[in-house]
Amino acid sequence: MATEKLKASVIAEIDACRHQLSELSLKIHSNPELGFHEVKAAAWLTQYLEENGLSIERGICELPTAFRGSYGQGKPAVAILAEYDALPDLGHACGHNLIAASAIGAGVASKLTIDRFGGTILVIGTPAEELYGGKVIMAERGAFNNVDMAMIVHPGVHDAATTQALACLGLQVEFFGKAAHAAARPESGINALEAMLQSFTAINSLRQHIKDRARIHGIITDGGKAANIVPAHSAGTFLVRAEDAPYLDELKQKVLNCFIGAATASGARLEYKWGDVSYAPLRNNLTLARLFRQNMRSLGRKARLFDPRKAFGSTDMGNVSQLVPSIHPSVAIAPVEVVAHSPQFASAAASEAGIQGLLDAAKALAMTVVDLVANPEIVNKVKDEFEQAK
């Protein structure tokens, strides 16, 4: 019963901060900053946390726009993660402004829970989710070493307590050919663009024979300089995704073979580089997810355990979820036909529905913190599930 009363108090606390949280979120939305350049957002977020009584460490993990806010001490240490990076040209078309404000709102409200039951609440600011996998770097540099559980809520088009996310690795490819007059002396040229086009064709053929949930996709970033010059150089960027790390490894070689074959056929020289940052698949802790779903439902959202779209991309939260029990639920802020990374989603991230999503996400997070901090046996269950699934 004590926990029900406490949950009512954290909800009231978040409602009382509605104005500040929505303002913070809208301010980040109208000042979009790309990965590792989220200087304003990190400053506003840490200032808010500091003014509300959390201890702040800025620039953790040698990343200037990463931070950690903490309150309390000892176990359990529950981390709520914030993202605040935007997308090139599209601004906050992934709604990370809402993630940031919900994490901050939940973190501050959780002070009540820590005062009552002990333990530690952490708000960890994780930059550059979209472009550089900030959490991958932070995980490698120990940001989650003393964390017992990690949670982050992403805006979407469904209320769901889990997310499916694939392992993912980037690939940069270049072909070096030989320039020549494309009409007068084509026989003297080596066509680097043709090598790239053949690579795409080979990948398209390969795609018929890969596992269902694997993905290979790419773009050409240099296809030549003029139509009357045989392209001496071509370049492309690709992403390879798979359900698990072993299959990603297998797929890597098959994809690479497509480029090697095209190099042989065209005579162009291949250079390639795999990405430094490898996204791990997301492990959903279902014990945590069920708690979160229950709390979402108590707020009047018909949250499901699994996203009915069964859509999947990749997220650097995957790497965190390999280290500590984690959830990455989604909160609906737009109709189902709206897709993330679109101008429509960017508008939704600044809409009334977006703000409502932010507040409900903050409340459900803070209520889940109550469940965890007040019930050591639930923490054990969360950890047991994590260990058994290893």
Residue ranges in 208-267 that form contacts with Zn ion under rule CB under 5 A: none
Query: Which residue type occupies 363?
Result: K
Ramachandran area for residue 44 (φ above 0: left; ψ -120 to 50: alpha; else beta): alpha
Nearer to Zn ion by Cβ, of 118 and 313: the residue is 313
The least CB distance from residue 343 to Zn ion, in Å, is 14
78 to 97: interface string for Zn ion, x by CB under 5 A: ----------------x---
Using CA atoms, how far residue 62 sits from 127, 146, 208, in Å, is: 12, 18, 43
Residue 157's contacts (CB-CB under 8 Å, 6 or more residues apart) are 309, 330, 332, 333, 334, 335, 336, 337, 338
Tell the smallest beta-carbon distance from residue 155 to Zn ion (Å). 8
Nearest residue (beta carbon) to Zn ion: 94
CB of 313 to Zn ion, least distance (A): 7
Report DSSP state, residue 196. Answer: H
58 pairs with which residues across the strands? 67
Q: Which is nearer to Zn ion, 46 or 330 (CB)?
A: 330
Select 85 or 371, whichever has its Cβ closest to Zn ion: 85
Report the nearest approach of Zn ion to the CB of residue 250 (Å): 27
Minimum CB separation from Zn ion for residue 171, in Å? Answer: 20
- Select 189 or 275, whichever has its Cβ closest to Zn ion: 275
Nearer to Zn ion, 346 or 364 (CB): 346
# residues near Zn ion by CB under 5 A: 1
Nearer to Zn ion, 94 or 165 (CB): 94
DSSP state of 185: S
Which residues, including other chains, have CB under 8 Å from residue 260's CB and lie 6 or more apart?
A: 270
Going from the C-alpha of 380 to that of each of 23, 71, 119, 143, 318, the distances in angstroms are 38, 22, 14, 22, 22
For residues 94-123, which are near Zn ion according to CB under 5 A? 94
| Cβ atoms of 317 and 143 closer than 8 Å | no
Rounded least distance, CB 341 to Zn ion, Å: 6
Binding site for Zn ion (CB under 5 A): 94
